[in-house]
Chain A
């Protein structure tokens, strides 16, 4: 199978859907003439023209509002944020208008729209460019939330998001845009709301998503050297949460560790933990454990960045704890 870059997979998803449906367009800062701040939309202006690939001023609230209004009036916008940290300025439109429109209007006005961009930390970017927002958006009824870890999932899920009739929050990562992965030539869609077992195992279940999948898979690799077979599940969709796949895995392994970049309070791991203790209490042989980001803004210094984020050694240590293994 051919391999392409993460950013190319995203671009293929958007371009294929735009070729199919005139109502789909892309809007955001630097998406057109600059070819994308992270080159995701490179070449799209040339193919689709300025009517459908639209540079905006730096006005997240305003251009999000215009896209949301356009979605209410028959179009299918894709809104790119340079990072989800900037999209906080547009939260009013995402939370108060896009997510609630169908309910408030008694089913008359929907909002088929994709909000996408880079999420979470990306090196020493300091406190204001480093927040992971999955749990915040997943708290909001009316939205679907996707967070991807590789080019194949990115393409298949972005295509599903674009044709979905509900507002979808789609989270990527600056540090993954340049990574390569296998993506078939032929067209495909990945259904929203389905987790994926990225590595099968029988001793412990590790759940993660987005770039923390690297930590989860890295830990599984280390554990394998010691004869421990971890099953690694990539959530891919955060809302709706595919807890059935986690539960089925826990029925086999009896142990669950969650690795995520969220802050700990009311995080994705909090929700998973509630669900699995309720649905799978009798299958658990140890308390469910997690590693999140530290309960603080991310600082600049490299050692503090390392201390802030989940990593492989701490994940390995935690897995051994839930397996009651010494050292």
Chain B
């Protein structure tokens, strides 16, 4: 008998899916989610078994439906910015698996030339403004990206992601206040996986419904099932439309779940194995697979072929990362200043 932490899941659990979304959308969701999942599992293997990847490593496994729904509800020019659980978002925006894996390996061909690592993936030409390591800081910086879009007169909308832990930082309130005051074109998306590292949401505040934090600023807000790409897409599409039409920001609280620990070194003693198993019954990839088969968008054989291709792409990213060179030692003092004549102190 399953008892879900978030009742919203139980109600919608594995409903039969005749869907309003097209075959192309579903197959894109399937591919993207499988790419993120296989990439993360392979990277974790290379971290744990081979010691090829070091540093902090925060996996996106379990939260893939968010990436899927957000991508189909936006366009490429809409900038994304997130915290340190950033692999999935970089892949979703189109940073190549090769560049992502090479970054984890710390290689010169990585998404940030081997200078960022797991927490600092960047892909500015893909409109991905990074992976940020200070909890909540990107809430304000993301609003700044939106400020620039508004200032330049574009109709681009920024998607700014943060976790339930970041929702308790002061910068959230300062930013929400100004984002509403200036009607900035930004959608704040709280990826609520219920744990700020090892501290559950109800242990961090009297207000456990994070979307209600928007009320103090009269910001539109919604709670969304973040395990279902359809509901994610619909909620984000509504918020993005509002922002594009100069209606200002929205806060979306996406209920999701990470299958892995906070980081790779997390023994996860704060949650029961049964809790994790319950969520796995709501796995977004299982859900999308079922929808594809129910609607006859593809056969199991065709999905297997997609899986095989993704497996090849991920294996190729490992080969690419392993064969790539380390950054040259001379890179130590490069990219610190835009000014190429800067006189560094060297002793």
Contact = CB atoms under 8 A, between A and B. Distances in A.
A128 interface: no
Interface stretch (A1-9, A60-68, A247-255, A289-297): A60-68
B124 interface: yes
Contacts of A280: none
A112 B120 contact: no
A93 B141 contact: yes
Contacts of A65: 137, 139-141, 143-144, 171, 174-175
Interface in A63-89: 63-75
Contacts of A105: 112, 115-116, 120, 122, 124, 130, 335
A56 B174 CA distance: 10
Contacts of B79: 73
Contacts of B337: 102, 142, 144, 166
Contact of A69 (B110, B115, B134, B140): B140
Interface string A287-326: 0000000000000000000000000000000000000000
Contacts of A227: none
B181 to A, nearest CB: 7
Given A61-B171, A70-B144, A97-B134, A103 B336 contact: yes
Given A75-B148, A96-B134, A107-B334, A66 B140 contact: yes
B338 A97 contact: no
A277 interface: no
Contact of A103 (B151, B335, B347): B335
B111 interface: yes
A157 to B, nearest CB: 15
A106 B134 contact: no
A25 B148 CA distance: 11
A282 B239 CA distance: 69
B335 A73 contact: no
B158 to A, nearest CB: 9
A106 B144 contact: no
A166 B338 contact: yes
B143 A69 contact: yes
B114 interface: yes
Given A74-B148, A193-B343, A107 B335 contact: yes
B122 A57 contact: no
A59 interface: yes
Given A72-B129, A75-B148, A61 B338 contact: no
A109 B123 CA distance: 9
A235 B92 CA distance: 49
Interface in B122-153: 122-124, 129-130, 132-134, 137, 139-149, 151-152
Nearest to A193: B343
B152 A74 contact: yes
Interface in A31-66: 51, 56-57, 59, 61-66
A108 B339 CA distance: 14
A69 B130 CA distance: 11
B120 A72 contact: no
Contact of A112 (B146, B170, B173, B338): B338
B177 interface: yes
A164 interface: yes
Interface string B327-347: 000000011111100111101
Interface in A133-152: 141-142, 144
Contacts of B130: 104-105, 109
A276 B110 CA distance: 41
Contacts of A104: 112, 115-116, 120, 122, 130
Interface of A: 25, 51, 56-57, 59, 61-75, 92-93, 96-97, 102-110, 112, 141-142, 144, 164-166, 193, 240-241, 278
Ordered nearest first, which 9 A-B pairs have the shortest CB separation?
Answer: A69-B144, A65-B140, A62-B174, A106-B113, A73-B148, A106-B112, A165-B338, A59-B174, A105-B122
10 contacts: A57-B181, A61-B140, A68-B141, A70-B147, A75-B148, A104-B120, A105-B335, A108-B124, A112-B338, A166-B338
Given A65-B175, A104-B120, 6 more contacts: A66-B140, A66-B144, A69-B81, A73-B145, A105-B116, A106-B112
